[in-house]
Every structure is written in C-alpha cells, then in structure tokens.
Amino acid sequence: MTEAHDLTDEQAHWLARVLQTRPKRGLLEQFTVPFEVQNALVEKGLLKWRRSVLEITLDGIRAVARRQVVQD
C-alpha cells in the first residue's frame, strides 16, 4: 500500500482530479494526465486501465483521503 507522503504534489493533484471526475451519470469530463504522472500512478497501483479508460483504484482513493487529512 502506498503512503500519502510517497506522492509528489503533481501526482497527488492528478490523482485527486481523477477521483473528482470519476464517471457518474451524464457526460464524462475528459482531460489528459501527463504521461510520466500516469505511469507513476499506475506503477504504484493507484490508477489502472480498464476498458481503455484510466480508473482510480481503492488504494488511490485511500491515498487521496490520507493526503487530505495530512494537509488539514
């Protein structure tokens, strides 16, 4: 499991952005996560590819929550 402090500020920003815009009913917001950040987050198991869509994992959701607690 990845600890919140293992993320760079840029990685944490993009991870939180993916979490905030995860598919809900209606239109899907599209944006491009920088390739280096995307690869790092996939390697850490915080994002994964599913049906050609980048999704946040449960560990990714936890990392965002832990980082928010640390910052408060």
CATH of the domain at 17: 1.10.10.10
Place of tokens 């198991």: 45
pLDDT band, very low/low/confident/very high, at 2 (cuts 50, 70, 90): very low
- Structural tokens at position 23: 């598919």
Residue type, 42: V
Domain count, the chain: 1
> Residue 47 sits in which domain range?
4-71
The pLDDT, as a whole number, for residue 25 is: 53
Residue type, 26: G
Spatial separation of the C-alpha atoms in residues 72 and 69, rounded to whole Å: 5
The model's pTM: 0.77
- Structural tokens at position 37: 């950040």
The pLDDT, as a whole number, for residue 3 is: 53
pLDDT in tens, 27-67: 556 778 899 999 999 999 999 998 888 889 999 999 999 88
DSSP 8-state class, residue 72: -
Spatial separation of the C-alpha atoms in residues 57 and 65, rounded to whole Å: 13
